[in-house]
Chains A and B, each alone.
Chain A
Amino acid sequence: MNPVNYLYLAALLFTIGAAGVLIRRNAIVVFMCIELMLNACNLTFVAFSRMHGNLDGQIIAFFTMVVAAAEVVVGLAIIVLLFRSRHSASVDDASLMKL
């Protein structure tokens, strides 16, 4: 199968993720969209790895997974704390970080 098709899929996934981050207000959904974007990137790395015939892309994909896992841990914890204090998971409610 043509590896370019994987790239198209990755681009599609990335776009969906980006749109989700921008449009949705629920923190969990935003979070999931970010994961979607990360995985779209992973897909690209792997596809390119395959295309160029070396393993660099796959190694970086592993890196990304580790980082994503760490991010999930921290991110979910923040969201849970946010929900506890505000009884809402809307990202627009947390807008105090401004000058």
Chain B
Amino acid sequence: MTNSENLIALLVAAPLLGAVVLLCGGRRLDRSGHWIGTLFAAASFVVGAVLFVDMLGKGADERAMHQSLYDWIPVEGFQADVAFQLDQLSMTFVLLITGVGSLIHVYSIGYMEHDERRRRFFGYLNLFLAAMLLLVLADNYLLLYVGWEGVGLASYLLIGFWQHKPSAATAAKKAFLVNRVGDMGLSIAIMLMFTTFGTFTFGPVLEATGETSEGTLTAIGLLLLLAACGKSAQVPLQSWLGDAMEGPTPVSALIHAATMVTAGVYLITRSGAIFNAAPDAQLAVAVVGAVTLIFGAIVGCAKDDIKKALAGSTMSQIGYMILAAGLGPIGYAFAIMHLVTHGFFKAGLFLGAGSVMHGMNDEVDMRKYGGLRKYMPITFVTFGLGYLAIIGFPGLSGFFSKDKIIEAAFAKGGTEGWILGCTALLGAAITAYYMTRVMLLTFFGEKRWQPAPDPDKAPSVEPGIEVHPGEMPHPHESPKSMTIPMVVLAFGSVFAGGLFSLNDSFVNWLKPVTEFEHGHPPISATVITSATVVALVIGLGIAYVQYGRRPVPTLAPRGSLLTRAARRDLLQDDFNHVVLVRGGEHLTRSLVYVDHTLVDGVVNGTAASFGGLSGRLRKLQNGYARTYAVSMFGGTAVLIAATLLMRAV
């Protein structure tokens, strides 16, 4: 028991307090709100760093810390504590979340400068940090679920931050709903854990996996996978991520690239013991990852909206992580490693995209960029480094982490190993293709700038920034508060991978939590690495031929069938619309009708029939006293007769 354990709650408490202060503080905090928000985020980072140093000072097996606050739901036979667990895995996330989070707070100071609701934006960001930290620090699944839904709420609020835009409000709602489907998986998984193990605290559940049937574990695993699919935008629940780009760009960078969407990877890695004991579920995880990494990549190739292209890329990269997590102990560590490096370069790319949009009157169509490298040098360099990292340019972060995943995929063994490995390789080629496309369209070639559209016709223009219809954009470098975070993230994109791979330091760090086995691919590691580089060159080359050598039309050409489908997110939305939205509408409408005519009708019908009956009966009352007298005598006679009859019998 050391004192540092008591600091864990502070990690969550600091941003939570920030959120409360900012959201309840009212307008008097409008002028200082962004500083308060950044301060609380930074405070959390400092606490995280202190704990990290403390953790490094201990032996590998003593590093896990635990802090129990109170009994949350004390009910017979049910134990749900508010308790935190900080081990190496959580620590990694804590540093990523608070670190990148703080940087993005700084970036937002500049980016949201003109927004009158900036204070609230920072409040939501702080709320997100608190929920995300709760998610990774919880020591049981139920508390994790609280964080899980909490980040969903923050994501909902931030995607829909510009609520006056119907598209933003719709996107926010969609994100929350799709996530709820995943949450359903998580909550049923928790229930199943409760009935199986009698608890849902990580320790006891994960230790007891040997004592229960594989069927149950497979069910739990698949339900957890469903949850991960929702949060991490994996097929078939990926459709919300593209729309989520309606949110302000710092949000896309923090939540929809670096942290929240990786929660699914965390969940699966954390529940490693369950998946290890349920190979079917594990394979399902790998397959989902592989499918999504191709799916996302294809979508990323077709989008002209810079943020949506990056969103497709995020989907694809998380596909890599899920794939790695589905490989079992040979992949967990690499999944997390790719997660961290991806956190750096993808956040950097998004911030770069935001910086470009900032300079281009919030134009998001890459076909209307071009030649920006001269006007925005810092953005160009940082974005470029992020680009090199994500395509896996040898020596940069992405190279190390992605290469390891591809290796591990081959090492899975058997036909599965070959299929997964080749898919991952193909993904690497497509990644190189679409990222090169983004790069070329944005920073190279000729200027294809267009005058600013009429804001009435194009409501996608972000508020607070004055745009005069018909004015040509004047691209300029963004203020320091925006460029500094980009530079820091660029450093991460370049060096993190190499640093982690030095003496396998990252793997060794995580080993006590996630277990680790060295995978043995059927072909040598060198061959795989070379194949990766070849794939990279091919993808890059094709993109260069298509977009570097030829002039780019401002209006997108019609394109092939696949391109058109990919522009529409491979028709996922159309499917959802036809099957779920339309079907649901018909269902609810017909139910409303049924409720009114049938359920209510039965009752009203009963009432009406009683009314009719009494209408007939009242005719017997004709007002003549003699008639009443006759009925009285008749009744009496019948009664007497009946009495006599009874007596006779």
A adjacent to B, CB under 8 Å: yes
Contact between chains at A98 and B625 (CB < 8 Å): no
Contact between chains at A22 and B629 (CB < 8 Å): yes
A2-10, A56-64, A87-95 - the one binding chain B = A87-95
Contact between chains at B629 and A95 (CB < 8 Å): no
Contact between chains at B622 and A22 (CB < 8 Å): no
Contact between chains at A18 and B633 (CB < 8 Å): yes
Contact between chains at A21 and B629 (CB < 8 Å): yes
Task: Considering the complex, give the chain B residue whose CB is closest to the CB of A95.
Answer: B623
B621 to chain A, nearest CB (A): 5
B561 at interface by CB-CB < 8 Å = no
Q: Which of A73-99 contact B (CB under 8 A)?
A: 91-92, 94-99
> A23–B201 Cα gap in the complex (Å)?
92
What residues on B are CB-neighbors of A91 within 8 Å? Answer: 624-626
Contact between chains at A22 and B630 (CB < 8 Å): yes
Task: Considering the complex, give the chain A residue whose CB is closest to the CB of B630.
Answer: A22
Interface residues on A, range: 10 to 19
B474 at interface by CB-CB < 8 Å = no
B28 at interface by CB-CB < 8 Å = no
Q: Which of A18, A21, A98 contacts B622 (CB 8 A)?
A: A98
What residues on A are CB-neighbors of B623 within 8 Å? Answer: 94-98
Q: Which of B622, B625, B629, B630 contacts A94 (CB 8 A)?
A: B625
What residues on A are CB-neighbors of B621 within 8 Å? Answer: 97-99
Contact between chains at B618 and A99 (CB < 8 Å): yes
Q: Which of A22, A92, A95, A97 contacts B633 (CB 8 A)?
A: A22
Task: Considering the complex, give the chain B residue whose CB is closest to the CB of A97.
Answer: B623
> A18–B618 Cα gap in the complex (Å)?
25
Per DSSP, are chain B's interface residues mostly helix, strand or loop, or mixed? helix
Q: Which of B607-626 contact A (CB under 8 A)?
A: 618, 621-626
A7-30 vs B, Cβ < 8 Å mask (1 yes, 0 no): 000000000001001100000001
Q: How many A-B residue pairs have CB under 8 A?
A: 27
Contact between chains at A95 and B624 (CB < 8 Å): yes
Q: Which of B590-649 contact A (CB under 8 A)?
A: 618, 621-626, 629-630, 633
> A94–B629 Cα gap in the complex (Å)?
14
> A91–B622 Cα gap in the complex (Å)?
13
> A95–B626 Cα gap in the complex (Å)?
10
Q: Which of A48-78 contact B (CB under 8 A)?
A: none
What residues on A are CB-neighbors of B626 within 8 Å? Answer: 21-22, 91-92
Task: Considering the complex, give the chain B residue whose CB is closest to the CB of A98.
Answer: B623
What residues on B are CB-neighbors of A98 within 8 Å? Answer: 621-623
Contact between chains at A95 and B630 (CB < 8 Å): no
What residues on B are CB-neighbors of A95 within 8 Å? Answer: 622-625
What residues on A are CB-neighbors of B625 within 8 Å? Answer: 30, 91, 94-95
Task: Considering the complex, give the chain A residue whose CB is closest to the CB of B636.
Answer: A18
Contact between chains at A92 and B624 (CB < 8 Å): yes
What residues on A are CB-neighbors of B622 within 8 Å? Answer: 95, 98
> A72–B271 Cα gap in the complex (Å)?
97
Task: Considering the complex, give the chain B residue whose CB is closest to the CB of A96.
Answer: B623
> A21–B624 Cα gap in the complex (Å)?
12
What residues on A are CB-neighbors of B630 within 8 Å? Answer: 22
> A24–B625 Cα gap in the complex (Å)?
11
What residues on B are CB-neighbors of A92 within 8 Å? Answer: 624, 626
> A95–B623 Cα gap in the complex (Å)?
4
Task: Considering the complex, give the chain A residue whose CB is closest to the CB of B619.
Answer: A99
> A20–B621 Cα gap in the complex (Å)?
21
Task: Considering the complex, give the chain B residue whose CB is closest to the CB of A27.
Answer: B625
> A98–B618 Cα gap in the complex (Å)?
8
> A5–B221 Cα gap in the complex (Å)?
100
Q: Which of A17-48 contact B (CB under 8 A)?
A: 18, 21-22, 30
A32 to chain B, nearest CB (A): 15
> A97–B624 Cα gap in the complex (Å)?
8
> A96–B623 Cα gap in the complex (Å)?
6
A75 to chain B, nearest CB (A): 12
Task: Considering the complex, give the chain A residue whose CB is closest to the CB of B617.
Answer: A99
> A98–B624 Cα gap in the complex (Å)?
8
> A95–B625 Cα gap in the complex (Å)?
7
> A99–B617 Cα gap in the complex (Å)?
10
Q: Residue among B618, B624, B633 with the most chain A CB within 10 A? A: B624
A31 to chain B, nearest CB (A): 11
> A18–B630 Cα gap in the complex (Å)?
9
Task: Considering the complex, give the chain B residue whose CB is closest to the CB of A18.
Answer: B633
> A83–B621 Cα gap in the complex (Å)?
23
> A97–B372 Cα gap in the complex (Å)?
98
What residues on B are CB-neighbors of A99 within 8 Å? Answer: 618, 621
Listed A/B pairs (27) with beta-carbon separation below 8 Å: A18-B633, A21-B626, A21-B629, A22-B626, A22-B629, A22-B630, A22-B633, A30-B625, A91-B624, A91-B625, A91-B626, A92-B624, A92-B626, A94-B623, A94-B625, A95-B622, A95-B623, A95-B624, A95-B625, A96-B623, A97-B621, A97-B623, A98-B621, A98-B622, A98-B623, A99-B618, A99-B621
With A91-B624, A94-B623 given, name 19 new contacts (CB 8 A): A18-B633, A21-B626, A21-B629, A22-B626, A22-B633, A91-B625, A92-B624, A94-B625, A95-B622, A95-B623, A95-B624, A95-B625, A96-B623, A97-B621, A97-B623, A98-B621, A98-B622, A98-B623, A99-B621
Interface set of A (CB-CB < 8 Å, partner B): 18, 21-22, 30, 91-92, 94-99
Going nearest first, the 3 A-B pairs with the smallest beta carbon separation are A95-B623, A98-B623, A99-B618
